Structure 1
Amino acid sequence: MKIAVLSSHTSSMFWFRMDMMKDFIKKGHTVIALGSEPEAVWKRKFEEYNIDYRQLCVERNGMNPLKDFRTLRSLNKFMKKERPDKVFAYQAKTVIYGSIAAKINGISEVYPLVAGLGSVFRGKGFKNKIVKTVMKIEYWVACKSSKKVFFQNHDDKNEFISNGLIKDEKTVIINGSGVNLKKFKPTPLPQEPAFLFIGRLIKDKGIMEYLEACKGVKAKYPKVRCLLVGPFDSNPSALKSEELNPYIENGIIEYFGEQDDVRPFIAQCSTYLLPSYHEGTPKTVLEAMAMGRSIITSDAPGCRETVIDGLNGYLVKVKDITGLTNKMEYLISNGEICNSMGKESAKIAREKYDVKIVNQSIMQVMGL
């Protein structure tokens, strides 16, 4: 079969969906990947895995209706020409417009993944309310045009059901994107305590809470390392370089920018942190768990599924800098707990988040 995989963020598709696409190919199917970035940059990278990459006219964070119409037109043109047998889409714009374009062209085998509801969907204010209302209508149309819809946590699924966007029988829960256990393996903890945050530098990820908690920790424990990996972003809540620079210049944070391989950085930390406001299921947390790290994350949709509080890490309230700081300081003073929690994390990753198990669930629903 010919399978189209749609995303409004090419690098996310390359790093987070490659295992899934490779499994599609192992089953004898053809995969065409559509993303936002130029073919000149990405086509050869995808071809190494026998995947045909095409650039899609899509703007991930914009709200310009004319640009969104061009996205729909671009997807409609693709569907009409290629006639894929099945479509897998994730991220808001490709989910919405990919599902609609498929419906227009009589393609019923559409399987969107709602991998977390963004800041617009959960935000407040009059302008946000208008945008949210439009998005609800668009999601309703997308769900109506789809055969099944994947969710990564029950909070997001229940949000869609309670808003009348989808019926329960059309939903499927999967355990995130999974983690490649051959690639991410347990490594020894560093001798000295060290913390790590990996992610796009947007405020909804809890980056400011992490920076402020590190500031408090470093004031009491100056030898503790606080690492940061991730790119700046175009998201409305993106952190600006001038906001980050004081933390770097004052020795609070060691910033390493965007990295193709995060394993060397996970290996340098004793505890992984992600105080995000909402997620689907955070892949970086799964990768840190697979490498045997204790986790501190927020008691928020998507995040709370990864941690059994007190067993493999701790859950803190959203935007709770004091709570985050207290848990960091506790693990600094009780370093032996990081080792036992890390072992529990690795066990949970093996039993629940193995990418092979997750991909098998996806393929079974898609009839592959």
Structure 2
Amino acid sequence: MRIAIVINKSWNIFNFRLSLVKALLKAGHEVVAIAPEDAYSAKLVAEGCRFVHLPMESKGTNPLKDMLLIQNFYKAYKQVKPDVILQYTIKPNIYGSIASKLAGIPTINNVSGLGTVFIVENLVSKIAMALYKFSFQFPAKVFFQNNDDKELFLGRKLVRESVTEVIPGSGIDTTRFQPAAQFKRQDPFVFLMVSRALYEKGLVEYVEASKILKAKYPAVRVQLLGGIDEEGNIGIKRTVVEQWAQEGWLEYLGTSDNVAGVMHQADCVVLPSYREGTPRTLLEAAALAKPIVTTNVPGCKETVVDGYNGYLCEVRNGADLAANMEKVLNLSEQELQTLGQHSRRLALEKFDEKYVIDRYFAAIEAATGKPARK
């Protein structure tokens, strides 16, 4: 079969869906990546994909402008003629679903996070709800990454329950992401947040927590790994991040293609996000046997059993975040290692990507009526 994978960035496919791509290629399918071209597009081709450029703003929230995307999706889908389309992120999910219906091609959607339109209620979010309700009539399957997101969509009657299913995010390759051979507590202690510099990821609260912790433990290291995204009103300005770094509240590490390597040098991974699908960075942290501190919100709370492999804190509360980070900081070496071992166990039992890939093969077979496995 010819299978299209459609996301708002080639980077996203390469970093989060490459295992699924490889599994589809291994099963003998042709895989076509449809996304805006970036530095990772050529890497997808090197892995064996065909690549089709589709211009798309990942952050624009002008629905009238975005409606023009339907034509772009339709042209791409008619050009590629896939047997089935796997769609991720908001714009492919909405506008791609309408285009695929017009093109007569079945789709499988993945709601990988609800984004700003569900966190902030305004005119744009109301239009987005209406668009979801219309476009989600058409997919053969809609995967959600946590039960809260699924129940929210069902409660607002945005999708039929019969086509929905919950899977653990993109899953994690537990053979590739392995704990360090020997446990070592860093001196001084290192907290790491892996995220783009966005308000909704809780970066402001992370810096607040850093100020509280450093007043008591001046040597503690508080790090951020991730890109600065100044688009719209959701990105924190580079000048602000650089000021935090100059004042000593944050070590800004920039970006890296070797996130696991950076995580190995941290004692605890922190994500104070306002809401997620299932955050990939926390799945990576769990697989690498790292204790986790994250917010008690949909998506994040699925990755932590409070007190077992980390701690859950209140959302938008820098003081509570600091208190929970301090709990981890004050653990003995053995207690810290045990928390990490529990994270690894959760990754193996709950988040292994083999389950996610299996559910995709089953959904492809159901949507097309053709065998997806060899």
Shorter-chain TM-score range: over 0.9
- 8 Å contact from structure 2 (residues 112, 278) kept in 1: yes
State the partner residue of 1:78. 76
Question: Is 2:241 the partner of 1:241?
Answer: no
Supply the AA of the counterpart residue of 1:29. Answer: H
Relative to structure 1, is the Cα distance of residues 43 and 305 closer, same or farther in structure 2, using a 3 angstrom cutoff?
closer
Partner of 2:171: 178
Instruction: Decide whether the 8 Å contact of 2:196 with 2:228 is kept in 1.
Output: yes
Q: Cα offset for 1:36?
A: 2.0
Q: In the alignment, is residue 331 of structure 1 matched against residue 324 of structure 2?
A: no
Tell me which of 197, 200, 203 is aligned to 1:201: 197
Q: Match of 1:246, as an amino acid?
A: Q
Q: 1:110 to 1:181 in 2, by over 3 A?
A: same
Whole-Å separation in 2 of the counterparts to 1:100 and 1:223: 54
2:96 is paired with a residue whose SS is: helix
TM-score normalised by L of structure 2: 0.93
Matched, 1:155 2:148: yes
After superposition, the C-alpha distances for 1:24-73 in whole angstroms (9 at most, x for unaligned) are 111111111111234xx444211111011221121111123454133211
From 164, 184, 190, the counterpart of 1:189: 184
Amino acid paired to 2:310: G
Aligned to 2:16: 16
Q: For each residue in 1:181-239, what CA deviation from the matched residue of structure 2 results, as whole angstroms up to 9, or x when unmatched?
A: 12211123333321000011101001111111112112211121111100011252111
Is 1:122–2:119 an aligned residue pair? Answer: yes
Distance (whole Å) between structure 1 residues aligned to residue 13 and residue 233 of structure 2? 21
Where does structure 1 lack aligned partners over 5 or more consecutive residues?
A: none
In structure 2, the residue matched to 1:289 is 286
The answer to whether structure 1 residue 267 and structure 2 residue 264 are counterparts is yes
Gap regions ≥5 residues in structure 2: 366-371
Instruction: Look up the match of 1:220.
Output: 216
State the one-letter code of the partner of 1:7: I
CA distance in 2, matches of 1:5, 1:303: 25
What TM-score, normalized by structure 1, do the two folds share? 0.95
Q: Which amino acid aligns with 1:155?
A: D
Distance in structure 2 (CA, Å) of the matches to 1:183 and 1:189? 20
The share of aligned pairs that are identical, in percent, is 37
Q: Which residue of 1 aligns with 2:368?
A: none
Structure 1 window deviating more from structure 2 (143-152 vs 175-184): it is: 175-184
Q: Aligned letter for 1:334?
A: L
Aligned residues: 361
Question: Which residue of 80, 91, 94 corresponds with 1:93?
Answer: 91
The amino acid across from 2:55 in the alignment is: C
Structure 2 Cα separation of the partners of residues 60 and 212 of structure 1: 29
Distance 1:335 1:196, change over 3 A: farther
**Partner of 2:31: helix, strand, or coil?**
strand
Can you list the C-alpha shifts for 1:123-150, whole angstroms capped at 9, x where unaligned? 13xxx2x212211121122211111100
Matches within 5 A, 1:312-327: 312-327=309-324
Paired letter, 2:19: D
Structure 1: distance between partners of 2:169 and 2:347:
11
Computed over aligned residues only, the root mean square deviation of the Cα atoms, in angstroms, reads 1.4
Aligned partners of 1:334, 1:288: CA distance in 2, in Å?
18
